[in-house]
Structure 1
Amino acid sequence: MEIAVVGRHTDVTDRFRDHVEDKLAKVSQLAPNARRVDVEVTHEKNPRLADQSERVELTVRDKGPVIRAEAAADDRFAALDLAIDKLSERLRRSRDRRKDHRRRGPGVSPPVDVRPYDEVLAAQPEPEPEPASLSTPGDAVEYQLGDSPVVIRQKLHRGEPMTADEAVEHMELVGHDFFLFIDKESARPAAVYRRRGWTYGVIELDATCSGAAPVTSLT
């Protein structure tokens, strides 16, 4: 299993790289098909965030969905320990889910609540458009929002056709509250998001509205 360690706004020492390899040894036990683990270390320079100045993000890539976990602390070794605990829990959850899916068979979906797009986003302010140059999946840019201290990180992901059930599974495994995807049946861009308890919502965009670019299914 390949382990790739990179630093954003910081240098990564050989001592930390060796520590990462030792700590991630158990990943191969929980995910024997894992081909690669990406470890991203970020240093936050803002003194007001000193207790979370070191952030570690772990991404496991194998034949199934991507599984991700991240954590922050005042020390990167402590942040790594926290992130590995989260990652291990999600790897176990993924393993148990596959076992349960094989036992029950296909066709069993989590509860999904579909609400109108306007109802979900009515109270949210419109973001200010900012120029960005993103052309390849994985590309990311950061920019400051006007004169405010707000920094926005924009990243391009490849949209994969899948069902809402599959999108919920991907969302749970990366630990996010939402997940963007291309609906396999309608070929429309969509998002699942976490609601209360074990219920989820689905938002689809009408790509045929005036001014919208045509959307095709990605294969």
Structure 2
Amino acid sequence: MFKYNMRGENIEVTEAIRNYAIKRLSKLEKYFTDSPDVTAHVNFKVYADKQAKVEVTIPFSFLVLRAEETSPDLYASIDFVEDKLERQVRKYKTRINRKAREKQVDLTVPLVDDEEVAQREGDGISIVRKKRIALKPMDSEEAVLQMNMLGHDFFIYEDAETGGISIVYRRKDKKYGLIETDDLEN
């Protein structure tokens, strides 16, 4: 059961508003089996142009759900925010389930010989998958587009300008990084 912390800016949070928000947001609880210490922070704002804004933040130890919506009707804003949060939860659950399935497949079908894995495990390192790729010449912008199309967090390519091998990657702040390699000659 969630706990609710509700605040109003330029509006008094009446019992009717509070009950409606709790009724809508409590629908999210069915997705979480263990949420005893979770506090949903709900902010209501009303602007001079009669627009009503609802902001909801629900911090879990493994995920932060956050959504906001502005509309002329406060109750409609609550509905829209709940819909957004539910989509976020479903997307997160789908991603977790997909990763669990992929890990299970990777562990049961290694691409290297079992004997080779056993030899490597003695060192504390276990390579369970091996992949070869053909590097295509392109610029960093095209590499980022390819990475996003594939849904990966990094992409290795041959830099069309320098001829060297480069890597683009997605950072935690959702921006991109570029690693360029140097050609070491002895």
TM-score range, shorter chain: 0.5 to 0.7
Aligned counterpart for 1:42 among listed residues 30, 41, 45:
45
Aligned 1:23-34 pairs, distance under 5 A: 23-34=24-35
Structure 2 CA distance for partners of 1:55 and 1:202, relative to 1, 3 Å: farther
Cα distance, 1:12 vs structure 2: 1.0
- Residue of 41, 53, 56 corresponding to 1:55: 53
Q: Distance in 1 between matches of 2:177 and 2:42?
A: 31
Post-superposition Cα deviations, 1:7-40, rounded to whole Å, max 9, x if no partner, equal 1232211110011111112111123334221111
Counterparts of residues 78-97 of structure 1 (less than 5 Å): 78-97=76-95
Residue type of the alignment partner of 1:58: V
CA offsets 1:120-175 (integer angstroms, 9 cap, x no match) = xxxxxxxxxxxxxxxxxxxxxxxxxxxxxxxxxxxxxxxxxxx956x3xxxxxxxx
Unaligned runs of 5+ in 2: 107-149, 156-168, 179-186
**Larger relative helix fraction:** 2
Instruction: Name the structure 2 match of 1:119.
Output: none
Runs of at least 5 residues in structure 1 that lack an aligned partner in the other structure = 114-162, 168-190, 194-200, 204-219
2:3 is matched with which residue? 2
Does the CA-based 8 Å contact 2:55-2:69 persist in structure 1? Answer: yes
Q: How do residues 165-176 of structure 1 correspond to structure 2 at under 5 angstroms?
A: 167=172
1-structure distance, mates of 2:154, 2:77: 34
Q: TM-score, normalised by structure 1?
A: 0.47
Please give the root-mean-square deviation of Cα atoms over the aligned residues, in Å.
2.9
Residue type of the partner of 2:7?
V
Q: Amino acid of the residue matched to residue 43 of structure 2?
A: E
Q: Which amino acid aligns with 1:67?
A: L
Q: Tell me if structure 2 keeps the 8 A contact 1:33–1:63.
A: no
Residues in 2 aligned to 1:112 and 1:40: alpha-carbon distance in whole angstroms:
37
CA distance in 1, matches of 2:72, 2:79: 12
User: Bigger radius of gyration, 1 or 2?
Assistant: 2
Q: Structure 2: how far apart are the matches of 1:60 and 1:101?
A: 23
Structure 1 residues 26-80: Cα deviation after superposition (integer angstroms, max 9, x where no partner):
11112333422111111112x3xx4xx1011111222212011111111110100
CA contact (8 A) 1:33 1:62 kept: no
TM-score (norm 2): 0.55
Asked if 1 retains the 8 angstrom alpha-carbon contact of 2:57 and 2:66, the reply is yes
Equivalent of 2:152 in 91, 97, 110: 110
Higher relative contact order (CA 8 A, sep 6+): 1
Amino acid at match of 1:96: T
Aligned identity (percent) is: 20
Change (3 A) 1:23 1:109: same
Cα deviation for residue 112 of structure 1 reads 5.1
Contact 2:39 2:59 in 1 (8 A): yes
Between the aligned partners of 1:202 and 1:72, the Cα distance in structure 2 is 34
The number of aligned residues is 118
2:174 corresponds to: 192
